[in-house]
Chain A
Amino acid sequence: MDMLEETLAMEDRMLAELVWLAPIGALVLGAIVAILMALFVARGRQGLVGAWVALAHLAAAGLVVAIWLTRGPARVMEGTVSMDGLALAVIGLIAVAGAVVVALARPVVAGTDREGEFYAVLTAANLGAAVLVAAADIALVAIALGMLSLTSFVLTGYLRSSAAGNEASIKYYIYGTVAGGSMMFGFSWWFGLTGETGLDAIGQSLPQAPTAALIASTALVVLGLGYKAALVPFHFWTPDVYAGAPLPVAAYLSVLPKIAGLVALARVLPLALPGDAAGWSTALAVIAAATMTLGNLAALWQRDVVRLLAYSSIAQSGYLLMGVAALSASAEGLPALVYYAIAYTASNLAAFAVVLAVQRERGSVDLAAFAGLGRAHPWWTAALILAFLSLLGLPPLSGFVGKLGVFTAAIDSGLAWLAVVAVINTVISLFPYLRVIAPTVLDSGEEQPAARPAGAPLAAALAIAAIATVAIGLVAEPLLTLAESATMLAS
């Protein structure tokens, strides 16, 4: 009788807790209905599927807001899912940016076979990302990362006719499975050392494990998540995959999966290795320095703007990782990470949106294709310049407030040297960013007829991302407040 009552009470509680999973549920529903729609909607009207998943994403964002306002954060599902401030903020970002990516993708995938399925897979990828940022249990982390990876491979190779896309997909897949496997191995080691899968429970005993085992297993975990985040030395796939994948997919990979990986790192390491056990803070700081430096230096030589953006996004991972590295010693680390992630997403999507528009009109993403853009398309050019200056970190754009945050966090946590490295990197990054900006206004290009007009969805995505790039810098308070409350919940 007692057992039964206990079971019933637990079921009641879990039912009640389902409310917190509603945003994730919206994405699940979005993906399932999208698959069904893809089957039954006529080929010419598959854009409807896109509209549906965009709506599902926005619904997820709305549910995040509703939970935040009415329920507040909670650990649910026996502590395995932490719908805390961090998770809610980042799931909100995934939902909004996911809808923007749908709009970016629409002109590229429109009319291809299986267009509807593309949207379904994209939704599933965001589902994986959303679970990954909330997972407080290593088994759930592994499942979510697997889901995010598999769907990303599919998205990368979506245009079957593109040889570069196929190659990119295979490359991504091979690297990805190795990295994912390493993480699984690291997790199983942790499980062996502690007998637990919950991150808090692991954190109780893992720091007492033998040092060699601790460091080796942690390194394997960092490898798996660092691969998603394109951290050096796990970044090799990035330029090839971005250049080979359909451009909207490259845009997507450069923001959401990367941010999900970094947020997972920001949750897994401090919980499983409280304090600075195994010296992960220092290790991440060194990786951050290497990542930003290599990304910026490699970006210097690129003529292909997508490859340039790929290396730039590696460098940006380094700045983002500063926030994670600062977590163990500074309360500024987590808000800095969250705000930077939002600012970076807006700026990078705006940059990619203009590059995509240029590619569609001029058929190239070489630097030469940007000559004279200012005269032909003043608004695109304004958006491009603002996006790149924001990535550079110039005020009053959002990228500056982001950098202010991660620099402050690094200095506050005693990593002043890392802030100095980041400053030097910011100077280096001027060259690649200016190489794209300068020809748009200083060179005169040939007048080209618009081969394929940008179209309303792309224009909308571009406008949203560009306005966000400026607005969340000028009016930073709401998002900074949000980032401040994006704390992690211990069980």
Chain B
Amino acid sequence: MMPLLTTAVALPLLAAVVVGLVPARAARAPRALALVTSALVLGALIATWARFDAGAGMQLVEEATWIPSIDVAWRLGVDGMSLALSLMTAVVFLPAILYGVGRRPLSRAAAALLLLLEGATLAFFLAQDFFLFYVAFDVTLVAMYFLIALWGEEQRRYAALKFFLYTLIGSLPVLIGIIVLFLQAEPNTFDMIRLASEQPLAGAGVGASLTFLAFFVGFAIKTPIVPFHTWLPAAHVQAPTAGSVLLAGVLLKMGTYGLVRVNLQMLPDAFAQYALPIAILGLFSALYGALVALAQSDFKRLVAYTSVNHMGYVVIGVAAAAAPGISASARDLAIDGAVLQMIAHGLVTAALFFAAGFILTRAKTRNLDELSGLMRPMPVYGTLTAVAMFASLGLPGLAQFPAELQIFLGTFDVYPAIAVTALLGLVVTAALFLLALQRAFLGETSDRWAGLRDLGARELGALVPLIALTVILGVYPRLALDLISAGSWL
């Protein structure tokens, strides 16, 4: 059987090296190579899906010796969460590469960095070995640093540095946590599957708590959870369009994925202790993100803060699932919802950041107060963006609705007050998106904007698949929920 997971990770990494060796004369080659590679990656993951047995938990593990003396191995495997997030990653990378960063056609350096980032994020979601997990975590950091610093907007260097710094501050406690788990396992290992089943720190008081908090801080910065979020607006706003798309669409999920994979699966006892405060932090993030987004007039900043809001729901769901006394069915409901929310948010936010990028290249502004009546000159753009906004505010029939619904239902079992309060966030996001639509898309079209041309083929190619998947998942969420099936691996 072909090692599909290894292929999905290794192919982009290999292509990143190959693209550096392409002669400079072949100007179109980097983009073509990157696109073909990421299409093949998506193919490999869809083929994995075909082989996948949703009820069987962790499976299709591919293992190869790497550093046996400390039990590090090339271990890749999938359960519902890993596979769903990997698929979403592969889906979001295609339009990001299609749209590209920097000058056109895509330069060799840009193509190499995008492919490096794709390989590393997939390695992160598929890794079942902590060494590989950490390597992938930090490689995404370096690749994204250069994407922001080289092709970002005016304050790109400041934003890139801030992103590097915060992520490094987050990744090092994770490293310490990994070392503690490694040392506590008997015999010592970096094998995440073993660590999840043996739980070497089960019930161990202060040590387990500190380890839990080390992991939590790292993943909280990545997610980001308020008050660890201050890097996010800078990085998202200053990054090039495709960079914001990948940052919000894919990289933020690394935080919540870690929260489930490590904190929940390997340290459930410690998580039970902290479930309530973390749920409250999640609630605070959701409300704070929504309220701050309400005050934004920059389209990109607005979307960036709604990410804080949406990721807050994920945190609430994960914390509820960890709470002592939650019923098994509510727990599965909450985690299914949290993972679906990660997928939905990945697609929807990617679409919204594209929308923000598209309008900037045309109107030279993203200020929603300046823009008006865009629907008239750009009906296709307006419609697709409106769908993305409706999805983001949680309209039924679009992807985020079933996700948020499940999170609220699951949470209601243990923290009814938090679940109910979180609904307030929905009201605020509904208000802010409707206001944005009204300000920028409806109303009179000023002369300034009358001449804007609608989306071209490349832009449609980037946006339409994301919107289509948002609708499909909204109408038929079981497509993803059957795959995720948290009950089989939690």
What's the Cα separation between A484 and B68 when bound, in Å? Answer: 12
Report whether B138 and A394 are in contact in the complex, using a CB–CB cutoff of 8 Å: yes
What's the Cα separation between A423 and B170 when bound, in Å? Answer: 10
What's the Cα separation between A407 and B165 when bound, in Å? Answer: 20
Report whether A434 and B164 are in contact in the complex, using a CB–CB cutoff of 8 Å: yes
Report whether A389 and B142 are in contact in the complex, using a CB–CB cutoff of 8 Å: yes
A6 within 8 A of B: no
User: Residues of B contacting A446 with CB < 8 Å?
Assistant: none
What's the Cα separation between A202 and B146 when bound, in Å? Answer: 55
Closest to B66 in A: A477
What's the Cα separation between A420 and B134 when bound, in Å? Answer: 18
Q: A396-B135, A423-B173, A434-B161 are in contact. Are A404 and B179 (CB under 8 A)?
A: yes
User: Residues of A contacting B87 with CB < 8 Å?
Assistant: none
What's the Cα separation between A419 and B182 when bound, in Å? Answer: 15
What's the Cα separation between A411 and B135 when bound, in Å? Answer: 20
User: Residues of B contacting A434 with CB < 8 Å?
Assistant: 161, 164
Closest to A443 in B: B157
Report whether A442 and B150 are in contact in the complex, using a CB–CB cutoff of 8 Å: yes
A177 within 8 A of B: no
Q: Which of B68, B146, B168 contacts A427 (CB 8 A)?
A: B168
Q: A408-B182, A430-B165, A430-B168 are in contact. Are A442 and B157 (CB under 8 A)?
A: yes
Report whether A411 and B150 are in contact in the complex, using a CB–CB cutoff of 8 Å: no
Closest to B134 in A: A395
B361 within 8 A of A: no
CB distance from B124 to the nearest CB of A (A): 12
User: Residues of A contacting B168 with CB < 8 Å?
Assistant: 426-427, 430
Closest to A382 in B: B20
Report whether B138 and A420 are in contact in the complex, using a CB–CB cutoff of 8 Å: no
User: Residues of B contacting A369 with CB < 8 Å?
Assistant: none
Q: How many positions in chain A have a CB within 8 Å of any CB in the partner chain?
A: 25
User: Residues of B contacting A426 with CB < 8 Å?
Assistant: 168, 172
Report whether A420 and B183 are in contact in the complex, using a CB–CB cutoff of 8 Å: no
B176 within 8 A of A: yes
What's the Cα separation between A434 and B175 when bound, in Å? Answer: 21
A441 within 8 A of B: yes
Closest to A476 in B: B67
Q: How many positions in chain B have a CB within 8 Å of any CB in the partner chain?
A: 29
A438 within 8 A of B: yes
User: Residues of A contacting B169 with CB < 8 Å?
Assistant: 427
CB distance from B176 to the nearest CB of A (A): 6
Q: A442-B150, A477-B67 are in contact. Are A407 and B135 (CB under 8 A)?
A: no
Number of A-B contacts (CB under 8 A): 64
Report whether A484 and B69 are in contact in the complex, using a CB–CB cutoff of 8 Å: yes
What's the Cα separation between A400 and B141 when bound, in Å? Answer: 14
Q: A residues 352-394 with Cβ under 8 Å of B? A: 389, 394
Of B66, B131, B134, B175, most A-chain CB atoms within 10 Å: B175
* B-contact 0/1 string along A461-483, CB 8 Å cutoff: 00000000000000011001100
Report whether A480 and B69 are in contact in the complex, using a CB–CB cutoff of 8 Å: yes
Q: Which of A395, A430, A477 contacts B164 (CB 8 A)?
A: A430
User: Residues of A contacting B176 with CB < 8 Å?
Assistant: 407, 411, 419-420, 423
CB distance from B205 to the nearest CB of A (A): 15
Closest to B180 in A: A411
What's the Cα separation between A404 and B69 when bound, in Å? Answer: 14
* A-contact 0/1 string along B142-180, CB 8 Å cutoff: 100010011000000100010011001100110110011
B292 within 8 A of A: no
What's the Cα separation between A252 and B233 when bound, in Å? Answer: 45
A17 within 8 A of B: no
Closest to A480 in B: B69
B460 within 8 A of A: no
Q: Which of A395, A438, A476 contacts B139 (CB 8 A)?
A: A395
Q: A394-B142, A434-B161, A442-B157 are in contact. Are A407 and B67 (CB under 8 A)?
A: no
Report whether B175 and A404 are in contact in the complex, using a CB–CB cutoff of 8 Å: yes
User: Residues of A contacting B150 with CB < 8 Å?
Assistant: 441-442
Of A419, A423, A426, most B-chain CB atoms within 10 Å: A423
A276 within 8 A of B: no
User: Residues of B contacting A396 with CB < 8 Å?
Assistant: 135, 139
A240 within 8 A of B: no
What's the Cα separation between A96 and B352 when bound, in Å? Answer: 55
Q: A residues 431-449 with Cβ under 8 Å of B? A: 434, 438, 441-442
Q: Which of B157, B161, B179 contacts A411 (CB 8 A)?
A: B179
User: Residues of B contacting A484 with CB < 8 Å?
Assistant: 69
User: Residues of B contacting A477 with CB < 8 Å?
Assistant: 66-69
CB distance from A82 to the nearest CB of B (A): 24
CB distance from A394 to the nearest CB of B (A): 5
B70 within 8 A of A: yes
Q: A residues 403-428 with Cβ under 8 Å of B? A: 404, 407-408, 411-412, 419-420, 423, 426-427
Closest to A429 in B: B168
What's the Cα separation between A389 and B141 when bound, in Å? Answer: 12
CB distance from A225 to the nearest CB of B (A): 28
Q: List 11 A-B contacts (CB under 8 A).
A: A394-B139, A395-B131, A396-B139, A407-B179, A411-B176, A427-B168, A430-B168, A442-B150, A477-B66, A477-B68, A481-B69
6 A-B pairs closest in CB distance: A395-B135, A423-B172, A396-B135, A477-B67, A480-B69, A408-B179
Q: B-side interface residues toward A, CB under 8 Å?
A: 66-70, 131, 134-135, 138-139, 141-142, 146, 149-150, 157, 161, 164-165, 168-169, 172-173, 175-176, 179-180, 182-183
Q: A-side interface residues toward B, CB under 8 Å?
A: 389, 394-396, 400, 404, 407-408, 411-412, 419-420, 423, 426-427, 430, 434, 438, 441-442, 476-477, 480-481, 484
Taking A394-B139, A411-B176, A419-B179 as given, write out 14 further A-B residue pairs in contact, using a Cβ cutoff of 8 Å, ordered by the A residue number.
Answer: A394-B138, A394-B142, A396-B135, A400-B138, A407-B179, A408-B179, A411-B180, A411-B183, A427-B165, A430-B168, A434-B161, A476-B67, A477-B67, A477-B68
